[in-house]
Structure 1
Amino acid sequence: TNSKIAAAMPVRCAERQGPAEFIRYTPSQQGAAFNSGAKQRVIRLVEAQVDPMEPPKFKINKKIPRGPPSPPAPVLHSPTRRVTVKEQKEWKIPPCISNWKNAKGYTVPLDKRLAADGRGLQQLHINENFAKLAEALYIADRKAREAVETRAQLERKLAQKEKEQKEEHLRALAQKARDERAGIKTHSVGDPNISNEEEREREMLRQDRHKERARERNLARAAPDKRSKLQRERER
């Protein structure tokens, strides 16, 4: 640990060398030609000085393989039991049946087809907003129908009232024309424009009656049966 800390330090000093050792060395070959004629030598052993900035000479960063892990925990099994008929039926998976393809032309029973379809396994959940929407549509439709019926009744009443007013007006004009024809003159004091309008209306009624009489004469000449039928309808 100390060596690692020292190696991590930014500045390293030269390590202190150990004391020198002296060894007496006697060579095996003795002679004047060897070892400068000396029989023994004294050798001084000094530890070699190491440069602190020199990079490491040997690579020691090899990854060591991991050791074997701890043994796995034992799996405890319950004793084997016999499979019941119900469990066998639950584990029975129906074959894949397509509703679109039948290349082999097999005849598949309907119950098997429905079992393979799996629609009965799905639980349908209908949102309550559908009921609210249906109720709102029903109420809106009912109110619209009531409004249409009320409008139609009002239009019928207005048409009936207008028809009655027109008939009353025509009846009054006819009565006035009959009175004038009989020689009864009504003494009316008022605007002369009103009398002119009444004369114009009497003239229009006279022309209509003239056309109606001409039509009856033509029908009498062409189809007497049709004329009698029209008379019966008028008498009703």
Structure 2
Amino acid sequence: MTQQRAPAGARHVAIIMDGNGRWAKKRHLPRAVGHQRGVESVRVLVRAAREMGLQALTLYAFSTENWRRPEDEVSALFGLLKRYIQDDLEEFVENNVRLRIIGDYRKLSADLVDLLDDALTRTAANDGTTLVVALNYGSHDEIARAAAKAAEKGAITAETIAAELDTAGLPPLDLLIRTSGEVRLSNFLLWQVAYAEMWFTDVLWPDFSPDHLREALDAFANRERRYGGR
């Protein structure tokens, strides 16, 4: 499959937002407070991404494996997501931000699905930065679903699978960032990361700022991307 080269500046950045719990633990606070501060970081980073001219920002919000967490923590996470969408939807509309969801989000609660569907509809015509939120997302599941859809239509090739991925139509992934010092992909965008650059930082997600994002983008701009060539 031919990989489309990105310009010197990154167009599509994805972030594995890690470290909310450790941020709270270091401060002897409940994990819920760490998640709340993490949402504030999301709010700030989405605004910064728009100002920096990113075409797409993909955030790993809830994985298929996160269901293993305690029920009260899962419930609190979805409560924070609801409030974030409710509080910031008008800002998305006014600032030309398009919302997109990847993952099997329709398996979430009916009220959350309705809220997300409304937000998707209201921002569908926006053509500025696309905020991509990964919900009930796992890359293995995504690739399996895409391959099954491709098989229903005919030949299974790299191109036909790519056309059925949740991220179809988005710019190719340029840069993957992970916070909190962990150096693994955690079943996130495994197909899309094939030729992406990666940037890891010890900064915990609630402390991740636009300056950190700018640092990552500067590092990206100084890398030579060869796509398997010389």
When normalised by structure 2's length, the TM-score is: 0.16
When normalised by structure 1's length, the TM-score is: 0.16
The structure whose Rg is larger is 1
Q: Normalized per residue, which structure has more strand?
A: 2
Higher relative contact order (CA 8 A, sep 6+): 2
